[in-house]
Structure 1
Amino acid sequence: MIARLAAAAALIGTQAQAVDFYFCWEGANGYTMTGQMTVNPAALSQPLLTEADVTQFRIAGYLDGLLIGKWDMQTRDADATWQLHFDPLRGAFLTPDELGLGVSQAWNANGDADDCGNPGFGFNLGNYAQDFCLNGVWIEQSGMPPETPFLVSPTPVSPICEIYAPTS
């Protein structure tokens, strides 16, 4: 009986562990972004995850491999733009066309990518482009077409979108 209870407790403890997703976006002209989001495992059975299902989220932007800005949901301002749509079955961030929205991802950057603060950093996936906001300014040269997929991985990724090999 005690062995069964211990096994059940171990299973519940394992199932209650948060799930991490790592991602990397390759923009134009040397711009890239890495990120990590942590999701409650109970939310993974939903067809669509939003910012309400995420317990941790952070991004870092780069230009030619050099860090240009960071943002995370834990230190965000109360009025910061924060919108996320993720398909856990496909492991993909959804685009505006897939959702019928003008903007499907707004991570400290609205649809105009001009409200990330100064200093500040943000990412926007809208119906015009995927792009950065840096210090309150839209970085048009970072832009990619809105339907461009980007890497999502269960393991960390580098600023040039390579998956780090797990070590033992």
Structure 2
Amino acid sequence: MIRAGAVILSLAATQANAADFYFCWIGANDYTMTGQMTIPDAALSQPMVTEADVTRFKIAGYQAGSLLGKWDMATRQDGASWMLRYDPGRAVFATPGELGLGVTQAWNANGNANDCGNPGFGFNLGNYAQDFCVNGQWIEESGMPPDTPFLVSPVPVDPYCRTYAPVS
């Protein structure tokens, strides 16, 4: 009983010492994606945060403001593509050109953006493009060049990549 209480207190302390980040990606042809991730404070001093460091991560994809699908690491299926490279010092997601990797972001979508499940949604940032996978299909028309930056914000963003003002 005491051990269970210690574990609960430990988890609560870990959540209290973490930062939430929100992000928005603008693709081609009116495709956008919003997301949220939680990173423990200790990981924020690392040169690169990976999928092993984040404690919460979720994304939602849109076209013209209409929801296409969602994905989060909490409901990740075994074998699902899951790779994240985030530079907290610059507040940017790393691109393949920066790291010399073929893929730096695989959020339920592999380098071919065709393994997100059906139904399913995923995002891929590879050396060919940044793009969506929807229902197991690569959405080529969503693609942007691999070095395209996208907004990372301390406040929530909407599907049009506008930030929300904090409400007190």
Using structure 1 for the length normalisation, give the TM-score.
0.91
Residue in 1 that maps onto 2:103:
103
Stretches of structure 2 that go unaligned for 5 or more consecutive residues are 1-12
Classify the secondary structure of the residue corresponding to 2:161.
Answer: coil
Letter in 1 for 2:39: V
Kindly tell me the number of residue pairs found equivalent between the two proteins.
156
Residue in 1 that maps onto 2:33:
33
Classify the secondary structure of the residue corresponding to 1:97.
Answer: helix
Alignment check: 8 A CA contact 2:14 2:40 kept: no
The alignment status of 1:122 with 2:116, answered yes or no, reads: no
Tell me how far apart the structure 1 counterparts of residues 81 and 15 of structure 2 sit (CA, whole Å): 31
The equivalences for 1:86-101 within 5 A come to 86-101=86-101
Stretches of structure 1 that go unaligned for 5 or more consecutive residues are 1-12
Tell me how far apart the structure 2 counterparts of residues 134 and 123 of structure 1 sit (CA, whole Å): 9
Residue in 2 that maps onto 1:58:
58
Tell me how far apart the structure 1 counterparts of residues 167 and 36 of structure 2 sit (CA, whole Å): 19
Classify the secondary structure of the residue corresponding to 1:160.
Answer: coil
Classify the secondary structure of the residue corresponding to 1:54.
Answer: coil
Using structure 2 for the length normalisation, give the TM-score.
0.91
Letter in 2 for 1:153: S
Letter in 1 for 2:113: A
Classify the secondary structure of the residue corresponding to 1:44.
Answer: helix
Tell me how far apart the structure 2 counterparts of residues 38 and 151 of structure 1 sit (CA, whole Å): 16
Deviation at 1:16, TM superposition (A): 5.0
Classify the secondary structure of the residue corresponding to 2:52.
Answer: helix
Largest Rg, 1 or 2: 1
